[in-house]
A and B are shown apart, each in its own frame.
Chain A
Amino acid sequence: GAVVSQHPSWVICKSGTSVKIECRSLDFQATTMFWYRQFPKQSLMLMATSNEGSKATYEQGVEKDKFLINHASLTLSTLTVTSAHPEDSSFYICSAEGRGKETQYFGPGTRLLVL
């Protein structure tokens, strides 16, 4: 149980384009989903927290117009990197938390490369 998927697993795009990453909880309802960014050989940096049906809460320093988050249902959240630039290249990981709110379960990650 507690499986979280992400799609795509990797994406290469041109500078200036937008990229959408999906995060799904496959066998539980995720009342809260989280989006993280991880740089090589570094820890995870929380970007934003989203609750189903409400606006995401962004961490300090994260541009909400740059990283659009939508949590449309209890099993799906999306992160859209708008007008991507090479500095947005990174490993993006989502996690999901159920109604018990005790444990975050993580997706396998999406590697984004912006050329």
Chain B
Amino acid sequence: AQSVAQPEDQVNVAEGNPLTVKCTYSVSGNPYLFWYVQYPNRGLQFLLKYITGDNLVKGSYGFEAEFNKSQTSFHLKKPSALVSDSALYFCAVRAYNTDKLIFGTGTRLQVFP
């Protein structure tokens, strides 16, 4: 069965410090992996994706993620957090040859001044 796990409900980081939001997945075949961010009472904004190629993917707002096939992980990272990064982050996976996204449960990122 396909699944996505975000083991942390919340991540707290001080502004200026690096941040990591964890994601692991289980899927048949080669995965398409995505990160989305959701601000209160808003839809999801696309941050970045991994389809193929370089394992380090760079996305919007200075975020990046590293695809690790052996660990089946796709952790989201940012070198220096901003207070405005505080939001709900979702990892999602799509198995090859399907349209559906499977979402993780979300991780709330709180960046403190």
Contact = CB atoms under 8 A, between A and B. Distances in A.
A43 B90 contact: yes
A93 B44 contact: yes
B29 interface: no
Interface residues of B, number: 19
Interface string A76-98: 00000000000000010101010
Interface of A: 2, 4, 6, 32, 34, 42-44, 46, 49, 91, 93, 95, 97, 101-109, 111
A6 B43 contact: yes
Contact of A104 (B42, B101, B105): B101
B46 A2 contact: yes
22 contacts: A2-B46, A6-B43, A32-B99, A34-B99, A34-B101, A42-B106, A43-B104, A43-B106, A44-B44, A44-B90, A46-B100, A49-B100, A101-B99, A103-B46, A104-B101, A105-B46, A106-B43, A106-B46, A108-B42, A109-B41, A109-B43, A111-B41
A109 B51 contact: no
A103 B35 CA distance: 11
Contact of B105 (A6, A42, A102, A108): A42
B99 A97 contact: yes
A103 B43 contact: no
B99 A49 contact: yes
Nearest to A6: B43
A34 B36 CA distance: 16
B106 to A, nearest CB: 5
Interface in B10-60: 32, 34, 36, 41-46, 49, 51
Given A46-B101, A49-B100, A91-B41, 16 more contacts: A34-B100, A42-B105, A42-B106, A43-B106, A46-B100, A102-B32, A102-B51, A103-B49, A104-B34, A105-B46, A106-B36, A106-B44, A106-B45, A109-B41, A109-B42, A109-B43
What are the nearest 4 A-B pairs in CB distance? A106-B43, A106-B44, A108-B43, A109-B43
A34 B99 CA distance: 9
A103 B43 CA distance: 15
